[in-house]
Amino acid sequence: MKWTIQFFFILMSIALMACQKDLPEPETKNRVVSAAQLPNDVVSVKGESFRVKSFVKGNDVYIECIVSNFSFREDDKKGSSLGKMIVYVDGQKYNQYSSAAFIVKDLKSGNHRISLQIVDSNGHKTSLKKEMVVSIP
């Protein structure tokens, strides 16, 4: 009986270790680009800076925003202003994000104007806005 229980635990341990290799791959694993390869655009407004890094991969645009004195996380306790990012593509609202990094997916071939507007926690537009034109092959 004792040997059967030990054998069972050994068998379960092997099975659990084998399952660890079947973890799903992250969606962006092969799409990592170093920060040195990304273009930087900086907009300064009243002592605040709004920095945007972006790159195109296929039909998707990867965007990362760095905004001083501003946070997209409700649990941030650094005294930063809280808000969201509203993204417009070709003048039409695309989506609203509560994070500083996001992906604009499935754009059609051609040039597109992407506008980023930061709104405060009450939904009022701030003076922090950035526009860029991207070309999708």
pTM value > 0.75? no
Please state which CATH number belongs to domain 34-136. 2.60.40.10
| pLDDT at position 65 | 87
Task: Give 117's pLDDT tier (boundaries 50, 70, 90).
Answer: very high
25-66 pLDDT tens trace: 555 444 444 444 444 444 444 455 788 888 899 999 999 888
Task: Give 116's pLDDT tier (boundaries 50, 70, 90).
Answer: very high
| pLDDT at position 76 | 55
DSSP 23-65: PPPPTTGGG---GGGS-EEEEEETTEEEEEEEEEETTEEEEEE
For the chain, domain boundaries: 34-136
